[in-house]
Amino acid sequence: MNTKQTKVIQMVTKPSWITWKTNEYIDGNMAFSVTEIGKTVYVHGSNTDSIEWWQKQFIIQFFIGPRGGINKIRVY
């Protein structure tokens, strides 16, 4: 992981950025995991552990390229 990817990860794991990008309200706190796949970084975030059964589950996944670009944002 290089410094550009690290800066992008710090930006995209903020709840305000996720709310702005997806236009969805997020219940609870998000937990993220970061995995390196070659030169690309895979980021997976979820609020599953911090919500009750009646609250909306939110999952986001995306890839960060070697130059810091965000690719393939998926929201479940």
pLDDT, tens only, 4-41: 999 999 999 998 999 998 888 888 899 999 999 999 99
Tell me, what's the pLDDT at 75?
86
Q: Is the pLDDT of residue 44 over 90?
A: yes
Containing structural domain, residue 57? 3-75
> Whose CA is closest to 14, among 28, 30, 27?
30
pLDDT, tens only, 47-70: 988 889 999 899 999 999 999 999
Q: Around Cβ 65, how many Cβ atoms within 10 Å? A: 14
Tell me, what's the pLDDT at 40?
95
pTM of the model: 0.86
Tell me, what's the pLDDT at 27?
87
Instruction: Report how many domains make up the chain.
Output: 1
Residue 20's identity, in one-letter code, is W
